[in-house]
Amino acid sequence: MITSRRFFLSGATALAASLVAARANAQDVLGDIFKTAGNWDDTFDARANASSKVASTLPIFSPQTVNYTEQAIAQYQNIVAQGGWQQVPDTKKLQLGVSDPDVVPLRQRLMVSGDLPQSAGISQAFDSYVDSALKRFQLRHGLPADGTTGKYTFAAMNAPAQARLSQLQTNLGRLRDKVGTLGDRYVLVNIPAAQIEAVENGRVVLRHTAIVGKIDRQTPIVNSKINEIIVNPYWNAPVSIVRKDIIPLMRKDPNYLKDSHIRLFAPDGSEVDPMNVDWSTEDAVKYRFRQDPGTINAMASVKINFPSPDGVYMHDTPQQSLFGKLMRFDSSGCVRVQNVRDLVTWILRDTPGWDRQHFEETIKGGQNTPVAVTNPVPVHFLYVTAWSTGPGVVQFRDDIYHEDGVDSLQITSSL
């Protein structure tokens, strides 16, 4: 019994010692992992560092945005005074789980811009904190927040700090010029961001992705009022599209107009048979090209009208896939609106009889139906490539139409 008891006690002591040793070894291993990661700091929540700190209901044109943009200018003046940021090597794809020497300059770059806190530390590990910080950076630059360093992310990241400062200074003037002049309820199309804000009482109530004009067919600056909604619209092709698109298409395919449900009308209003037109010349520009309402209509379900010297307007589109593109500069100057029915419902809010249900039923009916807006809503097409909606939340977009005067800011259009 005594021998057995001593054996048991000695065995238990050895087992306890081995467990302590194993636990200590495990702690050493975990410690090494933590040191390698370099950013396991409980004071910083990676999950809360991306979209939640970038998304805002603050309108681009608001007094608060002006104040935040002034703060951003001071921040970037300091960055420039400190020598800017170093270039991040753009030779390889970096993403969650990677351990690579290039993650070190990536971390440093994200720290300089405030996307990654200093407490995250420096290491070669692309962990969840770097992933969240990179997504935050991408959101601020209008890029898909996929947490992967592709060519557009590298290009935005390596734009010189001085160029970003100049961009902020240029756009501060644009903000100051318009803040307080747009009204309490309005629609803003920010052209370089290809985005729409519906603003009411100092707050963005709707935000829509847009398609705007190509570089060679630019969307103009507009300050007008939405006075009409056309449900199931006809589409009348502008002369520019007739020349650049329709005539060349008819030369290739004589059935193009018929297949597209586009009719030709002479100046006197009589319909013209396309087969009687000489498409080898530009004589066709004297005719009116009208597409019937329907699913393939260029404006799809609805057109948003307002007086404009350039003849532009906003509308739906049958090409919904275009809204998923990074480069949403595909129109001939007009603005296509994603989820346009939500915006139209908001515009028609004060127009008797035009609630969402009646609007949807009218679309299903397929008949061309103009609707006068009871209280015309101001609409503004403006050009802003840099602004800030909160401390450290500095938004940048490409200077797609070369209006900022800095060559290094036409990033996506030059790649």
* Residues catalogued as catalytic: 315, 334
End-to-end Cα, the chain, rounded Å: 84
According to DSSP, the residues that pair with 370 across neighbouring strands are 230
Please enumerate in sequence order all residues whose Cβ is within 8 A of that of 344, keeping only pairs 6 or more positions apart, or say none.
Answer: 229, 302, 304, 359
For the record, the structure tokens of 5 come out as 């008891």
Encoded amino acid at 313, one letter? Y
Q: In terms of C-beta distances under 8 Å and separation of at least 24 residues, what long-range contacts does 295-299 make, across chains too?
A: 296/260, 296/261, 297/232, 297/233, 297/234, 297/235, 297/261, 298/235, 299/233, 299/235
Q: For residues 175 and 180, what is the distance between their CA atoms, to the nearest angstrom?
A: 10
Helix extents (H) in 38-102: 63-81
Give one DSSP letter per residue of 127-180, joined into a string: -HHHHHHHHHHHHHTT----S---HHHHHHHTS-HHHHHHHHHHHHHHHHHHTT
CB 102: neighbour CB atoms within 10 A?
17
For the record, the structure tokens of 85 come out as 């940021």
CB 134: neighbour CB atoms within 10 A?
29
Please enumerate in sequence order all residues whose Cβ is within 8 A of that of 359, keeping only pairs 6 or more positions apart, or say none.
Answer: 231, 341, 344, 345, 348
According to DSSP, the residues that pair with 210 across neighbouring strands are 337
Q: For the chain, how are helix, strand and coil distributed in percent, rounded to 5? A: 40, 20, 40
